[in-house]
Amino acid sequence: LTLVFIGDGAPAGNYGYTNSGYSVYEEENERLTESLRTKVSAIKSLSIEIGTEVKNQNKMLADMDNDFDSAGGLLGATMGRLRTLSRGSQTKLLCYMMLFAFFVFFVLYWIIKLR
């Protein structure tokens, strides 16, 4: 009976195990596990940063929503005042507009005549 030795003296029937009991596959698994641990850590920190950014963006959107609500209220109040003005006497408004138009026309005529 002859035994053939591979590597550090491990017999051929041990499939690459060394005398210490530690295999090449276990070393590879440890290296891959460490690489995976590093990648998971990077993904975790990235997802935490994304979560923080989402919270900040949601706060900004809520602030914008409040600003638009207040601007909408101000615009609604202004439109209410305009409706109140338009319900007033149409003849009085028409007289004011005609007087203004005559005044502008007179001023323009006077400026042209002085040249």
Q: Where are the domains of the chain?
A: 27-89
Whole-number percent of the chain with pLDDT over 70: 77
Model pTM score? 0.46
| Distance, CA of 82 to CA of 26 (rounded, Å) | 82
Is residue 115 predicted with pLDDT exceeding 90?
no
pLDDT category, 15, cuts 50, 70, 90?
Answer: low
Q: What is the pLDDT of residue 3?
A: 47
Tell me if 10 sits within 8 A of 17, measured CB to CB.
Answer: yes
DSSP character at residue 14: G
Strands 5-6 and 10-11: antiparallel
Q: What is the pLDDT of residue 4?
A: 47
Q: What is the pLDDT of residue 114?
A: 85
Instruction: Classify residue 17 as left (phi > 0), alpha (psi -120 to 50) or beta.
Output: beta
Q: What is the pLDDT of residue 91?
A: 74
Is residue 10 predicted with pLDDT exceeding 60?
no
Q: What is the pLDDT of residue 34?
A: 96
Give the tens place of pLDDT for each residue, 93-113. 778 888 999 999 999 989 888
